[in-house]
Amino acid sequence: MTTEPLVDLNEWISKLPEDLQVLAQDAAPVLLNMGQDELLEWITHAIEGDYEIAYAGYFKRLTTEEQLAEGQRLNARLVVANQVNYARRKYVQDLVKSVVTLGLLYLRARFIGM
């Protein structure tokens, strides 16, 4: 007697928003290999917003190679986030510089023109 799976994992993952599909594809094997109590604890932490604890539980289940790959993936995301933040900061600095310059030019024209 064979038992059919209750849910096709790939079908379930395909119903998630695109940005979560990659995460689910990576995390599913790790989460499915957790024991019932461990998985329940992980889900509880995730639901309650204790993301650091939930991530630590997930991370400790990874092999060394998977941990290295995860570190590289996170570093790549941080590099992109830093580049975006730098561009925003540079934009704001340039904007403020332009506004101050225009203000000074206006004041100079106003007082010299008097």
Supply the pLDDT for residue 5: 61
Same domain, 69 and 111: yes
| Residue 59: closest CA among 20, 78, 92, 31 | 31
Give pTM, 2 decimals: 0.56
Same domain, 22 and 68: no
What is the domain extent for residue 104? 63-114
Same domain, 13 and 57: yes
Q: How far is CA 114 from CA 36, 89, 105, 108, in A?
A: 81, 37, 14, 10
Token pair 């790939």 in the structure block, residue: 10
User: How do the pLDDT tens digits run along the chain, 114 residues long?
Assistant: 556 666 677 887 888 788 778 878 888 888 888 888 888 888 888 888 888 998 898 888 899 999 999 899 999 999 999 999 999 999 999 999 999 999 999 998 888 865
Supply the pLDDT for residue 40: 87
Examine the fold and report which residue of 61, 85, 104 is the final residue of a domain before the chain moves on.
61
